[in-house]
Amino acid sequence: MTKMYRIGIIGCGGIANGKHLPSLSKLANVELAAFCDIVEERATEAKKQYGSADAEIYTNYEELLKDESLDIVHVLTPNISHAEISIAALEAGKHVMCEKPMAKTAAEAQLMLEAGERTGKKLTIGYNNRFRQDSMVLKQLCEAGVLGSIYFAKAHAIRRRAVPTWGVFLDEEKQGGGPLIDIGTHALDLTLWMMDNYQPRVVLGTTHHELSQRENAANAWGPWDPQKFSVEDSAFGMIVMENGATIILESSWALNSLDVDEAKCSLSGTEAGADMKNGLRINGEKFSRLYTQEIELSSGGVDFYEGQSEDAPDVEMRKWIEAIDQDLEPVVTPKQALVVSQILEAIYESARTGKAVYFNN
C-alpha cells in the first residue's frame, strides 16, 4: 500500500500559496496536516484552502515540530530563519524542503548540511527552475556531452523594474541581500548544475545601490520605499572555477537595460553552446558551417504522455516526494546549494572589500 506522507508547512506567505500548496495538493500520497505562521490568519487561510479537515494550526514552529506524526516539513519563511527552522526540523526527525537561498549566510548553510548528515534525514532546497522543461532538456544535453567541456557561462537574473515590495525582501538584516541572493541564486544554481562544476577558485564582485533611493519609481509591484531599501539593487560577479571555467553572474531588480532575462543561463563548451532565449537553443559548427537548433518544447515529453503535469512546481514537488518514498538523493542536494551560497557570499564580500575572494578547495 502507498504510504501517505504528512507534511507541515512553516511560513504560509507568497511562495507557500504560489508554489508549494497548489503543487503538493495535487499529489495523492500527501496530506497537508499542519500549518504554521507567525500571522495566524495566514495559517488558518492556508488550512482552509489546502489542508486536511483535522489539520493543526500553529504560530510557533517549535510546537509544530513536536507533532511526531509529521514526516516532512517545508520551511517557507524569510531567509533569516531558514537555518534555525530547518535544523530544528531535521533534529525533530523530519525530512526538510527549505526555500531558496539555502540560508542567509554560508556558515548557516554549512550547519544545515551537517544537520542533514547527522540526522540521516533528507534536505533539499527550492531551486524550482531546475524542473522547467527547458532546464531538464539542457541538463540531459550537458550530461550526454553535446556541449563538450563548458569553459564559459553566463548566469542571467536581470529585471528592468521588478523590485519585490512585499514581505521583508528589501531588509538586509532579514534577507542577507537583494537581487543577488534572491534571483541571482536561481541563475547561479542553474549554471553550476548544467556545468556540473562545484569547485570555485576565485570570485570578484560588485554591488550597486543606484536606483534604490528613487522616489515613485516605476515598478511591477508598485513604487518601493527608499527608506526601507537597505539591500543592493544590482550585483555582478565573475567566478573562476578550479579548472579555469569562467562564469559571469548578472543580477538586478532594477536596471536600465532591455536585455532582461531571469533564471536562465548561457553556456559555451568545446563542442557546442546553448542558451535559453526563446526556449532552448543549441549552437555549433558542423562540416565547416555554423548551425543553430531550437528544441521543440511545446510538444510534450514523457511526463506529458504518462498523464503527469510538466509544470515546474508540480515536477519539483513530485520528485521531492519520490526521493523520500524511494530513498533517492533529492535532485537539489545540500552540497550543491551550499556552494551557491558560498559563491554569493564571496561576491558580497568582494564588493565590500574591493578585493577578489579566493577559495581553499
Residue ranges in contact with ligand NAD by CB under 6 A: 10-15, 36-39, 42, 61, 76-79, 81, 99-100, 126, 128, 166-167, 182
Smaller CB separation from ligand NAD, 73 or 195 = 73
Smaller CB separation from ligand NAD, 32 or 282 = 32
- CB 64 → ligand NAD: shortest distance, Å? 9
- CB 263 → ligand NAD: shortest distance, Å? 8
- CB 275 → ligand NAD: shortest distance, Å? 21
For residues 50 and 42, is the Cβ–Cβ distance under 8 A?
A: no
What are the cell numbers at 129? 527552475
Count of other CB atoms within 10 angstroms of residue 114:
14
Smaller CB separation from ligand NAD, 125 or 141 = 125
- CB 9 → ligand NAD: shortest distance, Å? 9
**What gap in Å lies between CA 53 and CA 55, rounded to an integer?**
6
- CB 181 → ligand NAD: shortest distance, Å? 8
Q: Is the peptide bond before 101 cis (omega within 30 degrees of 0)?
A: yes
Smaller CB separation from ligand NAD, 127 or 245 = 127
- CB 273 → ligand NAD: shortest distance, Å? 26
- CB 190 → ligand NAD: shortest distance, Å? 12
Smaller CB separation from ligand NAD, 70 or 141 = 70
Query: Burial letters for 254-289: b for 16+ Cβ neighbours within 10 Å, e otherwise?
Result: bbeeeeebbbbbbbbbeebbbbbeeebbbebeeeee
Positive or negative: CA dihedral 266, 15, 61, 317: negative
CA nearest to 275, candidates 128, 152, 183, 131: 152
Smaller CB separation from ligand NAD, 100 or 161 = 100
Positive or negative: CA dihedral 217, 223, 229, 233: negative
End-to-end CA distance of the chain: 46
- CB 58 → ligand NAD: shortest distance, Å? 8
Smaller CB separation from ligand NAD, 36 or 142 = 36
CA nearest to 335, candidates 102, 131, 154, 135: 102
Strands (E), 270-331: 272-275, 281-286, 289-294
The one-letter amino acid at 325: D
Q: Partners of 156 in the beta sheet?
A: 250, 264
Smaller CB separation from ligand NAD, 262 or 303 = 262
Q: Which residue is nearest to ligand NAD (CB)?
A: 13
